[in-house]
């Protein structure tokens, strides 16, 4: 176990919880509590945005990847490739999540066709799950393994 910065601990805990928050919100939709589903989705997205911005700021201006990677036993090439795949999935997921949110809000408000929602939402949920899991694994490889 190596010393990890405070922001990394808090952000990792948030991303470990994120899939459960998303599942809870989906459960609301399944139980036909649509208003609660929409409000919770917007709150989860806004909260995630705050954490992502905090993370980006801290990694750039406080302490970054090159500081952490020096101390781990994990193969550096593997770790860097894993990190790149994680970043790629994270970016695609975040943009798709925002797109889903805006398109769904608009379609719902204007009572437009909504059949796109569930298939896209399942893909976004899978993306959120994968991004969070990979993020937690990176924390594990950097500070625990």
Q: Which residues bind ligand HEM (CB under 6 A)?
A: 22, 26, 29-30, 34, 37-38, 41-42, 97, 100-101, 104-105, 108, 114, 117-118, 121-122, 124-125
CB of 91 to ligand HEM, least distance (A): 16
Q: How is residue 143 annotated by DSSP?
A: I
Nearer to ligand HEM, 8 or 90 (CB): 90
- Gap between the Cα atoms of 108 and 111, Å rounded: 5
Nearer to ligand HEM, 60 or 109 (CB): 109
Nearer to ligand HEM, 124 or 138 (CB): 124
Nearer to ligand HEM, 52 or 59 (CB): 52
Query: Which residues 6+ apart lie within 8 Å of 100 measured at CB?
Result: 117, 120, 121, 124
- Gap between the Cα atoms of 41 and 124, Å rounded: 12
Query: Which residues 6+ apart lie within 8 Å of 1 measured at CB?
Result: 143, 144
CB of 115 to ligand HEM, least distance (A): 7
CB of 1 to ligand HEM, least distance (A): 33
CB of 31 to ligand HEM, least distance (A): 9
CB of 51 to ligand HEM, least distance (A): 16
Token pair, residue 23, equals 């599942």
Token pair, residue 121, equals 């939402």
Question: Radius of gyration (Cα) for the chain, nearest Å?
Answer: 17
Reported in sequence order, the residue ranges of 1-52 that DSSP labels E, i.e. its strands, are none
Nearer to ligand HEM, 65 or 116 (CB): 116
């Amino acid at each position: 176990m190596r010393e990890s910065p405070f922001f990394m601990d808090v952000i990792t805990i948030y991303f470990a919880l994120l899939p459960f928050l998303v599942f809870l919100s989906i459960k609301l939709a399944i139980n036909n509590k649509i208003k609660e589903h929409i409000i919770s989705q917007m709150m989860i997205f806004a909260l995630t945005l705050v954490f992502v911005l905090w993370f980006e700021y801290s990694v750039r201006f406080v302490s970054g990847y090159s500081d952490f990677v020096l101390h781990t036993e994990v193969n550096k090439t593997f770790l860097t490739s894993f990190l790149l795949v994680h970043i790629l999935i994270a970016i695609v997921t975040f943009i798709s999540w925002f797109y889903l949110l805006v398109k769904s809000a608009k379609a719902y408000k204007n009572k437009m066709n909504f059949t796109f929602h569930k298939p896209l939402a399942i893909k976004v949920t899978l993306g959120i799950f994968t991004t969070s899991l990979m993020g937690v694994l990176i924390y594990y490889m950097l500070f625990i393994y």
